[in-house]
Amino acid sequence: MKSLSLRMQRSSTQFFAALSAKIAQLQAAGKDVLRLDIGSPDMPPAPHIVEAMQRAVADPRMHGYGSHKGPLALRKAWGNLYLRLHGVALDTESEILPLMGSKEGIFHLSQAFLDPGDVALIPDPGYVTYAAGANFAGAEAWFMPLLPENSYLPDFSAIPGEILRRAKLLWLNYPNNPTAATAPKEFLAEAVRFARQHDLLLCHDAAYAQVGFAGYRPPSVMEIPAAKETAIEFNSLSKSHNMAGWRVAAAVGNAPALKALFTLKTNLDSGHFPAIHEACIAALTGDQEWLDERNEVYRQRRDILLQGLRAVGLNPLTPQASLYIWSPVPAGQTSLQFTTALLENAGVSFTPGSIFGQYGEGFMRIAVSSPTDEVVEAVQRVKAYLGKTGG
């Protein structure tokens, strides 16, 4: 076979593909594994969403190519979400672009903006697709440390001038994966100011925007006046509406940036399955109260995990939002050593913090998106394992 493209030679398989293969092997060998590693909601979407999908699938008109922008009703539904939750009006033609999951849009945005020599400013630890997208484009990633002492917010003043001159994209993500940190609106305002000052496209990833506990509602960057001049926001139904497998999301905000992403997408996809768009409209416009009930289930699981971790001497912060707990690993081991040993010996899978960047070392990410009885069982296994190893 001829050699792969340079882009592919720079790319590697993402951690979860390898982890899933390893877990499948353990399961084939008879091991019972509890997966609290990935943030994939275990509960289904509300019945009215599934019913809308069933009706749409039975409709003979739904089986051709969809349009790249999705139907107007879908863009209106995303627009109404922003109006309802954030008091922000978006133009349905130029300021809302439906996506096939936000991962798709995040990766492709980098292809639309970055060339070799360009820089993307990326949080560390951070969602790995920001760096994967920059890497694929042949651009440089400059990592902004997210440190506990700064409440996991980046320090813009630490970015060197030479890097800033070449930087085009500034990635932020709150509620944050993997640290579960949240950002006050004042920080988002500072980010908008900084992006305007340095002519950056601020890309705010709001994948966890509707997973908040005890009444906490994360702000949108679009709430900041003038955000549209310099920012886009990625939003997704994966976590907010338990629809991760459906691949539905949207990018909103800065019209020229969305136009570039749209142009790229017209070259590589042919629109989403129209029936999924119908279900997405039902998700966005139908009853939303079930989200509070769902969030309450996550809060209960969060508290079971926090109690268990604290009982074994680990002291994670209490997250206000997202699907994750960001916990220190026991002293004397790397995050990969500890999570691998826990998986192999106790059958509990957590994500090592180091896969999210160098500043993730020393931590592990634990997801609350597994059934509550499995969360309870995982806590018991962790306690028993650490009791045995003196960990």
Ligand X SMILES: Cc1ncc(COP(=O)(O)O)c(C=O)c1O
Q: Which is nearer to ligand X, 194 or 246 (CB)?
A: 246
Phi–psi pair at 191, nearest 5 degrees? -65, -40
Please name which of 342, 389, 384 lies closest in space to residue 366, comparing C-alpha atoms.
342
Q: How far is the CB of 173 from ligand X (least distance, A)?
A: 5
Helices (H) and strands (E) in the chain, counts: 14, 12
Binding mask 16-45 for ligand X (x = CB under 6 A): -----------------------x------
Query: Vertex 104, ends 183 and 369: CA angle to 5°?
Result: 55
Binds ligand X by CB under 6 A, chosen from 170, 188, 207, 368: 207
d(CA 141, CA 146) in angstroms, rounded, equals: 15
Least Cβ distance, residue 313 to ligand X (angstroms):
28
As given in the structure block, the two tokens for residue 7 are 């882009």
Exactly one of 127, 171, 194, 363 binds ligand X (CB under 6 A); that residue is 127
Cβ atoms < 10 Å from Cβ of 209: 25
Cβ-proximal residues to 157 (8 Å cutoff; 6+ apart), any chain: none
Distance CA 115, CA 354 (A): 27
Nearer to ligand X, 100 or 386 (CB): 100
Number of amino acids touching ligand X (CB under 6 A): 13
How near is the Cβ of 273 to ligand X at its closest, in Å?
16
**276 binds ligand X, rule: CB under 6 A:** no
Residue 158 Cβ vs ligand X, minimum distance, rounded to whole Å: 22
Q: Given the complex with ligand X, which of 237 and 348 has the nearer CB atom?
A: 237
Q: Which window, 64-72, 98-106, 157-165, 334-342, contacts ligand X (CB under 6 A)?
A: 98-106
Q: Is 170 helix (H, G, I), strand (E, B) or coil?
A: strand
Q: Does 177 bind ligand X (CB under 6 A)?
A: yes
Amino acid symbol at 257? A
Q: What residue type is assigned to position 350 of the chain?
A: F
Enumerate binding residues for ligand X (CB under 6 A). 39, 101-103, 127, 173, 177, 205, 207, 236, 238, 244, 249
